[in-house]
Amino acid sequence: MEAPYLLTDTNRRGWGVRCSCGWRSPLYDERNDALASAREHLEVDAQLPPAAEPRGWLAKRRARKQQRSSWDERRRT
């Protein structure tokens, strides 16, 4: 998590927070509001299930083979 930063642009001004996952908070007038938004994002992010690890080629092949019907059943049709 990146610390709250102050953005000053010709059309915008406010405090924002950016996360390493790509999430960005909206701009707030107060620094504490931006920090509260970051804490809320981290709490929600911690409740999400962990992402599945990528499986190797053999694991994918095994999964496809398990989905197919057995040889005897395929031969009958």
Domain encompassing residue 33: 1-49
Assessment of whether the complete model's pTM goes beyond 0.85:
no
Residue 69 lies in a domain: no
Residue 13 lies in a domain: yes
- Digits of tens for pLDDT over the chain (77 positions)? 667 778 787 788 899 888 888 888 889 999 999 999 988 888 887 776 666 665 677 777 878 777 777 666 666 65
Residue 75 lies in a domain: no
* Predicted pLDDT of residue 36: 92
Domain count, the chain: 1
Helix ranges (DSSP H) in 1-77: 31-47, 57-67, 71-76
Residue 40 lies in a domain: yes
